[in-house]
Amino acid sequence: MDKVIAQFYIDKYDISLFPKVLDFVFNNVEQLEAFCRLNNFTGLKKEEVVMRLIINECTKDIPIIK
């Protein structure tokens, strides 16, 4: 979580997104760990890619079915 908080500060994300990010990480920790194992990232590259994945999942539009 320290990486998530740091990335929020560095990239100046909207703070109203933070609870959604926490929920996503808490509910998908196994999938995030599997993603890291399967892709074999190294160093800061892994943190950057995982954080972008989390932000993309939390900010994408949810389709409305009518």
pLDDT in tens, 21-66: 889 888 988 998 888 888 876 666 777 788 888 888 888 776 667 6
Confidence at residue 27, expressed as pLDDT on a 0 to 100 scale: 92
CB 32 within 8 A of CB 25: yes
How many Å apart are CA 60 and CA 63, to the nearest integer? 9
Burial 19-57 (b: 16+ CB within 10 A, else e): eebeebbeeeeeeeeeeeeeeeeeeeeeeeebbebbbee
Confidence at residue 40, expressed as pLDDT on a 0 to 100 scale: 78
